[in-house]
């Protein structure tokens, strides 16, 4: 029951503040139709390389984290 009251309180708070909060956030985040390389002023292939590097690193970390002894395989 406590979770349901939190959902209702959050919905009411969101509804009451939406008119003031949304325009401010929308003005900050409205960059139009842009791409990641354009945002950082980088070459397309360099962006792909860095995103691939980050993905491989995250997969490595998740794989090592899952190699605990006595854990579920």
Same domain assignment for residues 39 and 66: yes
**pLDDT grade for 65, boundaries at 50, 70 and 90:** confident
Domain that holds residue 14: 1-30
Closest CA to 1 of 62, 13, 9: 9
Question: Do 40 and 22 reside in the same domain of the chain?
Answer: no
What domain count does the chain have? 2
Same domain, 41 and 63: yes
**In terms of domains, do 38 and 64 share one?**
yes
39 and 60 co-located in one domain: yes
Question: How far is the CA of 55 from the CAs of 11, 23, 39, in angstroms?
Answer: 35, 34, 20
- Going by pLDDT thresholds of 50, 70 and 90, the confidence category of residue 73 is low
Structure tokens belonging to residue 70: 């006595």
- State whether 21 and 39 are in the same domain: no
- 23-64 pLDDT, tens digit per residue, is 888 887 777 788 889 888 999 999 999 999 999 999 999 988
Q: pTM of the prediction?
A: 0.51
Asked if residue 47 and residue 16 are part of one domain, the reply reads no
């Amino acid at each position: 029951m406590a979770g349901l009251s939190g959902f209702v309180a959050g919905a009411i708070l969101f509804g009451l503040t939406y008119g003031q909060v949304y325009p401010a956030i929308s003005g900050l985040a409205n960059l139009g139709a842009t791409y990641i390389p354009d945002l950082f002023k980088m070459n397309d292939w360099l962006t792909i390389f860095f995103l691939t590097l980050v993905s491989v690193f995250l997969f490595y970390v998740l794989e090592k984290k899952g190699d605990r002894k006595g854990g579920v395989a």
